[in-house]
Amino acid sequence: MRRNGIALVFLAALASPARAADAPGVREPAASTGNDAPLDAVVVSASRTEQRIMDTAASIDVIGRQQIQDGQAAFNLSEPLARAPGLVALNRQNYAQDLLISSRGFGANSTFGARGLRIYVDGIPGTMADGQGQISHIDLPSAERVEVLRGPFSVLYGNSAGGVVSVFTESGRPGLHATPYFSAGSFGQMKGGLKVDGADATRDFVIDAGTLRTQGYREHGSADRQNANAKLGLRLGEDTTLGVIANNVSLSALDPLGLTASQLAFDRHAAGTGAITYNTRKTVNQTQGGLVFTHRVSADDSFTIAPYLGDRQTMQYLATATNGVLRLQRNYYGLNSAWNHRGEIAAMPLTLVAGIEGGGNDDHRLGYASTAGNQTGPATQDYSMLARNLDGFAQGSLRASDAVAFTAGLRASRTALESQSNLTPAQSPGGHAYRALTGMGSVQYDLREQTSVYASYGTGFDTPTLNQVFYSPAYVANPSNPNTGNIGLQAASTRQVEIGLKSALGRSGRVTLAIFDAATTNEVVVDSSVSGKTAFGNAPATHRKGVELSLVAPLSVEVQASVALAAIDARVTQTYQGYSGTTVVSGNRIPGVPGQTAFAELMWRRPDRALEVAAETRAAATIAANDVNGAWSGGYGVVALRAVARQRVARWDISEFARVDNLFDRAYVGSVIVNQASSQFYESAPGRNWLVGVRASYNFE
């Protein structure tokens, strides 16, 4: 945390604003309409330029600050993402493992981290060059909004872009504000921190630092996580701005592992086999930073350059003696650039965006033997691995008439993976470069004002990650064989089509409907898994199709209903030899994908916002836990209640909240570990639990 503390002090010194009550160019945030994402909300993820959400020919949802922070735990990204149909984030109740996140079924069969979708925080990729993603550094108490993009538009983000999740940090408010916050609840959960923000005519800043501690719902599930996030905005001139972003996460968590079906039935609170014996656990320390430099060349043209770099150190203790201790040092870096142009062709408005994006990560992986959860002996693995990508893209939108708009884009991508053993060079996996040309096109037709239909088509690709090419199937099956790696894995390719409808409901309500179909060849799947080691292969063909509905309906001045529904049929469409020599037959469900998901909220709020009461419902259908569909988790539906009270006392804006989750104490499985070798598939969710908290913002003006 020392480097993080130095960085935050430096940013604070730069950003300390003067009194800005009447400063030019600074304005208060727009008032919320109640759904926290008004019809004129501006998004950037779909077109890479500012565009009204109702004008995009894409499935994109905006989750606003109030939905992220007010009356919410703000512990995990799974909380706000439940509001986006088609995006599934299953909370493992295990901070030693990331959430199981999937977008329309892409990424659902991940055995580690997040893959199959792109993650960004203030423009800095949380997804590395090889497609491996991390989310533990996302700081929800300082998040302004989350944009969730699905469908053909996402392919223009390159490798592993089955969907895009972009998190944006708040901007500082005029003046100077300090906001301490604290919450406590069941299972020894406590979260506290301090956020400071401010702005004047030439700069704005936000700095947030907080700590989360929990004893864990399950045995051997305690965790301690510190997050810090800082954003500084500088106005260098009338046409030039510079953004500075820095964040850090330090995590120490025990790993309760998964449960077998019999263990789940006997004691759903228990740790899984091997967790206590090997003291399974994980520590992470990650620091990253970046710049966003934007310059307006003319009234119609501007360019942006955004370099970033970071390092991540991970140490993980597995439930195995051989290579049971893993140390990973990752340095990552990159530079994204874009040129934006607004103009006309034959009196038709035109928007063009083109750019070059490149990045890389250098990994040093060490493996050691484990004796009762302690590192023993010299390194049994010592690998240097790297991933590189260099992509160019172009995207344009043309408003052909008042009612018709076209969008098209292309992206040329090159991703290279290399792995070299420092102990036994003869076993080195080697290297491979993957190349792809992806693209999309869409047409949108306005049936009337604030109502439109659209159709879009896109092609995408998904390379294996460095972890997925690390072990050869022969070595996993028999460790006496040399580990020659699996660099021959092919990249998956996907063709997808979507049709949709968007319509306003009154002044602040809206409804969106999307129907999609996606066919994939060479999807990366588990080939074999033994004692914590997993090798991967390619499935010849899979298919995903489904429907998504999102509804925000103001029922009165004080009452609002929100609904997000999704149904997806994700299946294997060609039989193949898969997991540990088994046969995965055509028609099997893709594991980790619930067939149906639902979120519903009914909220009452006083017009002056002094009091808010809401009921939330989350539901999911059954989930296959392995490729052969021999194990399943049951479906569930749970209800939560929350209440938020707000007061203004002198210069203080104070809010208190209380919430009860799983109100009816439903026993259910919250997540699964896909294709777990010892059939420890199940990660149970907590019964009825509570959380209370307070936040107070002081205005120094």
Reduce the DSSP state of residue 116 to 3 states and report it. coil
Region 220-245: mean pLDDT is 97
- Residue 261 is predicted with a pLDDT of 97
- Three-point CA angle 408, 409, 412, nearest 5°: 160
Average pLDDT over residues 338-360: 95
Contacts of 521 (CB under 8 A, 6+ apart): 492, 493, 494, 540, 541
> What pTM was estimated for this model as a whole?
0.92
Give the type of residue at 621.
A
Residue 7: helix, strand or coil by DSSP? helix
Other C-beta atoms closer than 10 Å to the C-beta of 300 total 14
Task: Tell me the pairing of strands 118-121 and 163-169.
Answer: parallel
pLDDT in tens, 114-148: 788 999 999 899 999 999 888 888 999 999 999 99
Is pLDDT above 70 for 21?
no
Q: Are 87 and 110 in contact (CB under 8 A)?
A: no
Which domains are present in the chain? 2-699 (2.40.170.20)
What is the predicted pLDDT for the residue at 521? 97
User: 652-661 and 689-699: which strand pairing?
Assistant: antiparallel
Bridge partner residues of 307 (DSSP): 335
35 pLDDT exceeds 60? no
Residue 664 burial by CB count (10 A; 0-12/13-18/19+): exposed, middle or buried? exposed
Of 31-40, 83-92, 178-187, which one has max mean pLDDT?
178-187
Sign of the CA dihedral with 158 first, then 485, 92, and 180 last? negative
Average of pLDDT values for 173-181? 97
Report in angstroms the alpha-carbon separations of 215 from 72, 253, 360, 439, 644: 19, 10, 36, 47, 26
Element (H, E) at 474: helix 473-477
The predicted pLDDT at position 38 comes to: 55
Report the pLDDT value the prediction gives residue 23, as an integer from 0 to 100.
Answer: 30
- Cβ burial 426-458 (10 Å sphere, 16+ → b, else e): ebbbebbebebebbbebbbebeeebebbbbbbb
Q: From the CB of residue 652, how many other CB atoms can be counted at a distance below 10 Å?
A: 11
Listed residue (207, 94, 69, 210) closest to 145, CA to CA: 69
Contacts of 269 (CB under 8 A, 6+ apart): 217, 218, 219, 684
Q: Which amino acid is residue 406, in one-letter code?
A: F
Mean pLDDT on 62-71: 94
Do 245 and 46 contact (CB within 8 A), yes or no? no
Token code pair at residue 630? 């021999």
Six token digits for residue 73: 């735990």
Q: Which residues contact 204 (CB under 8 A, 6 or more apart)?
A: 15, 17, 26, 171, 172, 173, 197, 198, 232, 233
The per-residue pLDDT for 157 is: 94
Q: What is the pLDDT of residue 482?
A: 81
Kindly tell me if the per-residue pLDDT of 510 is higher than 80: yes
pLDDT at 26 over 60: no
Q: Residues of the chain with pLDDT > 90: what percent?
A: 78
Q: What 3-state DSSP class applies to 591?
A: coil
Beta bridge partners of 421: 383
The pLDDT of residue 390: 97
Q: How many residues does the chain have?
A: 701
Going by C-alpha positions, the residue among 472, 477, 381, 486 that lies closest to residue 677 is 477
Structural contact between residues 356 and 391, judged by C-beta atoms closer than 8 angstroms: yes
Per-residue pLDDT band at 192 (split at 50, 70, 90): very high
> Residue 77 phi/psi, 5° resolution?
-65, -20
Q: Percent of the chain, pLDDT > 70?
A: 93
State the pLDDT at residue 623: 96
Residue 61: Cβ-neighbour burial (10 angstroms; 0-12, 13-18, 19+): buried
- d(C-alpha 133, C-alpha 136), whole Å: 10
End-to-end CA separation in angstroms for the chain:
31
